Each structure stands twice: as C-alpha cells, then as structure tokens.
Structure 1
C-alpha cells in the first residue's frame, strides 16, 4: 500500500539574497533526499509526476528490495515560478550556486540524489564543476535528462549547417528584443491565444514533444511556458547559449549517472547526450523512442524508474 506523504513549502536564500521557492514532499527522516531542478520556462511542477511516485514506498519493478519513501525537494529556478530573480547577472553558474544553497539549507545530512531536466541538468553540471567537494561528500547519484554540456549556440560554429546559424541569429535577436521590452512583450503575449487555444498547443507539441504525446502532457507544458514571465523567457536565453561545461565534469565520473533523452528532442538532440557519455564513461544512456524534449512529462515513468534506481543505490550505499 502507498504511504501517505507530507508536504511543505518554504524559502531558500541564494548567496545574493534572492528568495527561492522550495517544495518538499515525503518524510523528513527518509533514507535519501532527491533534489530536482527544472528546465527553462518551466517550474517545479514539471517534476510533479516524479515527486508523487518517488515519495511512496513501493517495490522496484525489477524485484529488488524497495527503498522506502524518498524525500523529494523541488524548487522554482531563479526568475521562474515563485522564485525571485535577484540582483546578480544571470548565468548557469549562478544556478549551480542556487542548487548548492538548496542542498545545504534543505538537506544538510544524508545521501542526496540530483535530477536535472534541460537547464536543470546544466545546473547540476555547474554545481559539479564549481563544488566537487559537495558532490563528493553528499551526492550519491545523478540523473541528467534532455540536457547538454554546451555547444547549443550554432552562431559561432562553422561546422553547423547554415540554416541553423541563421536560425541562431534570428533567435538571439528575438530574445534580445523581448529582454529589452519585457513589459511590452508581456502585454503583447496577453493578447495571443492562451496555452489551450489556437495554435499554441500545436506549436508546443511540435517543438517539445513526440508525435504521440498525450494532450494532457502537452497542455501541462504549455501552461508552464505561458505562465513563465517574459523577463525569464528572454533573460535566460543568453545564459543557455553561453553554457559550456564540457571537460569540467570530473566530479561526476565515479558516480552512478543516468542520462535520458528522447529520440526526437529538438532542443538538446541525442548527440548532446552522447557527448556526455564520452565524458562520463560509466554513465548509462537511455534513448526513449518517439519522444521529445519534455520527456519527464511525456513519459514520466521512464524518468521515475531511473530516479528510483539511483535512490535505491544511494540507500544501499549508506547502509
């Protein structure tokens, strides 16, 4: 039988004083804490399926001993959801500092498993590059889904197809304009079809999901993107393009790492996950067929099962 879970909401303070909204599910005395970082334009509810799944005691599908309930900590990334943007210049390195603060202030003891989707995966990489001590002392496993260690900006890469370089310049100009005119862009967006109307769900599905994605999953993503402030939508784009942690992931080499990606991911294609494996030779790669970038919503159990495996390993290692 599932075990009843407790839920709490509180605030973590970033190094610059920014207030980050944090949501914890599961018992405080759970044997492992799972900390989850979401992607660009989303919020902590992107991990709702996994939070509900992992906070319930259940036997593993492969017949192994159950881990017991897991404590799951999710948070709204800086500038997203209910978290403040703060006064610091936005960068993926800054998000790594935020993740360190979340771990230290919400899970000061016991093993920790980290999960990151898209920009959240980059956040985990930034933490690994900057705080190998924290990784070595506290982290027992990592899941990286639909993410990249860098080379997302095609503009400065001569080997990139001309079409992608032109697209990169257009996107940079568009997001730059939106960043400079965030309030005006917000007003314009308010007059466009909402997340459940017109071409909005069609476009979200086309670029972020696989062809057979269920409509509720598509609408869940569309709502989060629509609710994300334009200042964050536009403001975080340059940080994503500048992100580069290739060659800086030594702290993760000896850890259990699961890399999961959809075969049809348009934003962080499979090649980016393969490059992660080249740097993390002990990592396991799973390519989910006919699935897009929003894999954690489109095929939630695929992600949950890898997280469950990592949590089980963490508990076994702590005994």
Structure 2
C-alpha cells in the first residue's frame, strides 16, 4: 500500500499520520528541492522562540491515576493557604475580593500546549494562564485506547480547573480542545456561569466529523470514511514501524502540513510550519489511532445550550478542511448569543497562522468578562 493511498483512506487521522510518514515517496528528491526553495524565502518568524516559553510547571494526577503536565503562566498568583479561596495568607481586609481571572487553554489533536505560543506570549504579562497537555499528548502520560475518550478529556479539564484555577476563568479550546470543553459542559454543567465566565471555541466541531470530505469528491469521501477505521487501527498496531518512517519523511511532512494546516500556504512562515509539524510528528502513531474513534463519534450538540449562559466566541478559518466552517456555523446556530468569526485565507491551525486575529478576539472576550 503506497503512502498516498494510505492518506486517502484515513480521513483526519490519515492526513496527520500521512503528513509525518511519507519518507519513502518516489519523489523525495523533488520534494527536497521544493522545500529548499521555500526555506530560502524571507522568514519573518525565523527567530521566534517556539517551544521556549516556560511557565511554572506542575503535575496533576487525575482521578484515574494519569499524570498530566500543566504550566501556570502570567503574573504570580496570590499566595493562599491550602483550601482557601476567599482570603489571603496575610489576612487582607478585602478577603471577600474575587480571585483574578484565569485563562485556561486546551490544545488540539496531535498538538501540545506549545501550540498556544503566540497567545501565551501576548497575554502572559497581564493575565494568569493555565496551559495543559491533554492525556497522551505533549509531556502528559500515555494512556490506553479505552482511556482515550472525549468524555474523559472533559473530566480531566474539570480536575485541572479544580486544582489550578482558584477563581473565575475563561476556557479556550482549539479543535479537540474545543470538544473537551463541550464534554465538560455535558458532564459538569454546574461549572458554567459562576466558575467559567466565557468560552472560546476555535476550529472545532460539535459532531459529524465522520462526514468530512477533506475536499474529496462525494463518492471518494464515502469510501474513505468506510475504510478509515480499519486502516487507522492497522496503523496503530504497527505504530513503532510507522513512527520510524515518519522521522525519515520530514520534507514531505513539511509540505503536507503546510498545505493542510495553513490557508495561505504560499506565504506562511517555514519556521511556523516546522513548529507545527514537529508537534504532529512527536505524537506517537498509536495515540493518533487511539483517539481517532473518539473524534469520529464525538457528538455534543445537545450540550451546547450550557454555553448559552456565558459569552462565547467561535472562530474558524474559511479554508479549514479538518473542521470546516459549516461545523462552526452549526455551533453558532445552537448558540444564538455567540459571536462567530470566519477568518479569510486561513485553515485549521488558525492560532499559529493568524495569531493577531485570535489574540484580539481573546482580549475582547476577556474584557467582556472583566466588565460584567
């Protein structure tokens, strides 16, 4: 089976795995030449310190015994005795004052908390932030396929909030991270309104991902989704071998990531593409396969009404193939008070491709909460 055939047969997961596993393609030399030409262009982001921003590192052991990597960034939180939220250690007379607002970031499928680079860089001076690697991603502990569900991610988020968010918060989720927030709304609706004051859903979906066409003709897309589960399962079982191949195919992985993840692929920074591809490649193939069924079965449309109690911003790139604009429009239809923004010439990795647009939207959302 050729690499191209594999990519066509596995839908979203195939796009991601294929993007990092095509090292044996017959056109390797031509691809290397093309990548070389791209890298010779002026790159405004060449000196950007991707992966170098660090917060105060913490570990959360979840209720099912899994270790999650968490970073707290921004201004130092006020020191408080364990278990006390309403007063400070010095017995401040304003002990009834509310804790400062925290912004909690939930990253997407095959990414890590590092994917919020531009957002934490923009907000860290003024806002307390909590960023975390979802289970099996980044520096968090690997879990089994049975433990790789969207509902469990929602429970993980609830525990992150309980442990690291002393007061009100704004939740920000990209792709699978947005689904995590929806699962939280489904399983812990009582948190929305008092603790959770606002939500941003970026390039995500409330369900029906199994119907995505990825730009393919209808009949081809139907075949893709029919064979995808078995193909992804096969890739997962041979994960170690596939991962070795992925490391050899960086040039082709670069080109596919550039094409699939960025709407303005001709002008996107090669450094940004490399950064995104490195996160995808660092995600083991078995993890890609473990979460694939959960993504395809995700359906939280009925839980969206919980978000109607808080200001909600919805953002999507107009050229997003992985969670197309119609999925964000469906969320917006279920949340008539929400603000929907469709960003031109932008694809799935919107927070890396158009950081200024995303940062402005987050600042506006935070200001709405602060003015309440």
TM-score range, shorter chain: 0.7 to 0.9
The answer as to 2:73 corresponding to 1:25 is: yes
- 2: CA distance, partners of 1:262 / 1:32: 28
For residue 258 of structure 1, the aligned residue among 308, 313, 336 is 313
Given the two structures, how large is their TM-score scaled by the length of structure 2? 0.75
Give 1:171's match in structure 2, choosing from 198, 204, 228: 228
* 1:41, distance to aligned residue in structure 2 (A): 0.4
Partners of 2:192 and 2:310 within 8 A in 1:
no
Q: Which runs of 5+ in 1 are unaligned?
A: 57-68
CA distance in 2, matches of 1:293, 1:150: 16
- Long gaps (5+) in structure 2: 1-52, 79-98
The question of whether the paired residues in 2 share the 8 Å contact of 1:209 and 1:292 is answered with yes
Q: Which residue of 1 aligns with 2:329?
A: 274
For the residues of structure 1 that align with 2:236 and 2:355, how far apart are their CA atoms? 32
The reply on whether 1:98 has 2:156 as its aligned counterpart is yes
SS in 2 for 1:176: helix
Number of positions where the alignment pairs a residue of Structure 1 with one of Structure 2: 292
Distance 2:219 2:202 in 1: 28
Q: Which protein has the bigger helix share?
A: 2
Q: Deviations over 1:112-138 (max 9, x none)?
A: 000000000000010011111112320
Residue number in structure 2 paired with 1:300: 355
Q: Is the 8 A contact 1:213 1:291 kept in 2?
A: no
Tell me which of 342, 345, 348 is aligned to 1:287: 342
Q: Do the aligned residues in 2 keep the contact of 1:178 with 1:185 (CA within 8 Å)? A: yes
Q: Distance in 1 between matches of 2:139 and 2:54?
A: 21
Instruction: Name the SS for the 1:265 alignment partner.
Output: coil
| Per-residue deviation, 1:139 | 0.5
Counterpart of 1:146 (choices 194, 203, 222) is: 203
Match of 2:26 in 1: none
Match of 2:218 among 161, 164, 182: 161
Query: Among 107, 117, 127, which residue is 2:174 paired with?
Result: 117
Q: Hey, what does 2:289 align to over in structure 1?
A: 234
Q: CA deviation at 1:24?
A: 1.0
Contact 2:192 2:309 in 1 (8 A): no
The answer as to 2:147 corresponding to 1:89 is: yes
- Deviation per CA, 1:93-128: give whole Å up to 9, x if none: 110001111111111x22100000000000001001
Deviation track 1:147-179 (CA, whole Å, cap 9, x = no partner) reads 000000129xxxx93222112234323311122
- How far off its partner does 1:279 sit? 0.5
Q: Which has the larger radius of gyration?
A: 2
Q: Match of 2:19?
A: none
* Residue matched to 1:316: 371
What SS is found at the alignment partner of 1:247? helix
Alignment of 1:205-216 (within 5 A): 205-211=258-264, 212-216=267-271
Q: Note if contact 1:35-1:112 (Cα within 8 Å) is conserved in structure 2.
A: yes
CA distance in 2, matches of 1:213, 1:275: 29
Shift of 1:91: 0.8
SS at match of 2:147: coil
Q: What is aligned with 2:4?
A: none
Cα deviations by residue, 1:164-208 (Å, 9 ceiling, x for unpaired): 211223432331112222223223323x222xxx22211111111
Tell me how large the CA RMSD over aligned residues is. 1.8
8 Å CA contact 2:304–2:331 kept in 1: the answer is: no
Q: What does 1:51-62 correspond to in 2, within 5 Å?
A: 51-56=120-125
Q: Deviations over 1:61-90 (max 9, x none)?
A: xxxxxxxx1111111110001101335521
- Shift of residue 13, structure 1, vs aligned partner: 1.6
